[in-house]
Amino acid sequence: MMIDLDYIETQAFDGALGAKCTEKGTEFRFWQPLADRAELRLYDEDGVLIKSAAMRNKNGVFECRVKGDLDGVYYGFAVTQNGETVETADPYAKSVTTDGRFSIAANMRRHAPKGWTGDRPISFSNPESAVICELSVRDFSMDEQAKFVNKGKFAAFCEQKPQNSHRAVIGLPYIQKLGATHIQLMPMFDFDLDGGEYNWGYNPRFYNAPSAYYAQEDGIAELRELIMAAHKKGLGVVADVVYNHVYDVESSAFEKIFPGYYFRTDENGRLSNGSGCGNEFASERLMARNFIVDSLCFLAREYHLDGFRFDLMGLLDIETLREAESVLRGINPDILLYGEGWTGGGSPLDESRRAVLKNARELPNFAFFNDTFRDSVKGSVFGAKDLGYVNGAADDWHYEQINAALSGGYPEDFWTSDPLQTLNYVECHDNFTLFDKLNISLDGANIERVIQADKMAAALIFLSRGSAFFQLGQEFLRTKNGLPNTYNSPDTVNSIKWDMATENRDIVEYYRGLIAIRKRYLPEFGERVFEKTGRGFIMTAGDFVLIVSPTDENITPELDGVFKVYADKERASDKPLYTAKRLFCAGNSILFARKVK
């Protein structure tokens, strides 16, 4: 539907929208400046209409107040434009039915678990010290061998000491012990189940309503309990948000309320597809921008979130993100903000306005996933057998990218000069797991070679400048059976195989040691100086020495003194492993030490 966007933007509204529900009554409000009239409809849990009321039109904002306690009541709006009436749920809904047909009025105070009023986001003033662990709510607890009571649900995170079949403690206590500072939860707000198929939640419908898929009875309270449980363990919670598109435009509450406004179109008036999912949310339009900012602020306030990860952030406009940041910092000065600085395809949004990597300097307080680092370490994600520094391509180009990440000294043509803007990683939910990528690309190599490449990759992540990011299970060689993208694969593929945390305990301990080294010693590093040796290198940073040998060649540098060694081919710890007068880095490994004499 073609509309006069210039005129519509003059009708923008900056007040509160949605349903404000209290014990005494509920105010309902939505924006639609071209509608002829609107009606509020209330339903019981069987979908039977129990009340309807005309909504007043105040300069394009339709509103209605209903007395009494409506918490838990289903509702929707019937909007009439050009003689046609369409019923829709509320895009601002705080709770929705599983099928997304109805909004549910929610008094947020009513859905506060015990202790919630005293809960706060974690104190976290230095984003560069972040160690972020990505996971899916469902994958976290669906393993058949894992003894979670509340499998696939928010409540699984609140279980005190869940165990694997080896009787080792797993779940949130495990992540805390591993040393992560934050957990990043893949989309946990309402999404379409895509015909009941398994999915990770990147089919968004309602951005403010916890997914009923992960809830048992009260999604709002149960998500808050998850966040409170994490905070009690000193872990921040980052929400993966997907404002760049919706699952289906035609059935979307945005499109039903105001056809033709909330989604970008190309020069022929067809929906554009920069998301690769069939549509793009038009963040640059004033009321779309208002929605995103309002939604982020609502989630930050009402769920005490510690950060947001923006899916395909390159489809969001810079001005919207700047505005969101300004308000979010007022709610939580320590909030983490980062995302994917790319799109999933071409977009009509002018490139100069996009939050893509080349425009990173326009968003100085946002971090961006560093895909250059990712590909330089293990090889391109677009080629299963493409090689990186740790698995066979230790050439100058790969070394230079790793040097930049470790030192924070990026080349002039890089997208940032500030390490605070880089989020270093080699594995996330997309593409191969690190183990599968290394196993495929090192075709024919024995498992020990694959493990040593994995350990080198981990060392490069955790000893680099910027934030560190890993996917849960990376630390125990998580595999997805060699499948590159498993968004629609079953639990047998995607669930966290918690027994592996015990069976590969030595690798888990190696990761734990590297994280501990990062937390304890990186702030002391100071200037980092590099020396190439063969195809490896030596980095000195004050009294600290990092040696990396990505080939079979051993490295024995001519460095005088006595050194305490904290990490070598086999072990890593923030406490000295042994003392050495001569450093020795075995081939296909790293050595990290500190000069003490």
Any idea which residues carry the catalytic annotation?
A: 311, 340
Is the separation of the CB atoms in 303 and 335 below 8 Å?
no
CA distance 356 to 219: 34
DSSP 272: P
**With the C-alpha atoms ordered 213, 218, 224, 226, is the resulting torsion angle positive or negative?**
negative
Rounded to the nearest 5 percent, the helix, strand and coil shares of the chain are 30, 20, 50
Q: Which residues contact 542 (CB under 8 A, 6 or more apart)?
A: 524, 525, 526, 527
Is the separation of the CB atoms in 98 and 145 below 8 Å?
no
CA distance 528 to 530: 7
Q: Alpha helices, DSSP H only, in 238-317?
A: 253-257, 286-303
Half-sphere exposure of 585 (CA within 13 A, CB side): 30
DSSP string, 212-245: GGG-SS-HHHHHHHHHHHHHHTT-EEEEEE-TT-
Is the separation of the CB atoms in 282 and 288 below 8 Å?
yes
Half-sphere exposure of 410 (CA within 13 A, CB side): 19
Cα separations (Å) of 189 from 139, 202, 240, 243, 487?
Answer: 16, 10, 9, 11, 17
Is the separation of the CB atoms in 200 and 142 below 8 Å?
no
Residue type at 291 in one-letter notation: F
Pairing of strands 103-104, 182-185: unpaired
Q: Backbone phi, then psi, for 57, in 5-degree steps?
A: -100, 115
Q: Count other C-beta atoms under 10 Å from residue 358's C-beta.
A: 14
Q: At what angle do helices 434-441 and 447-462 cross, to 10 degrees?
A: 130
E-strand ranges in 325-450 read 336-339, 367-369, 422-424
Q: Backbone phi, then psi, for 425, in 5-degree steps?
A: -160, 160
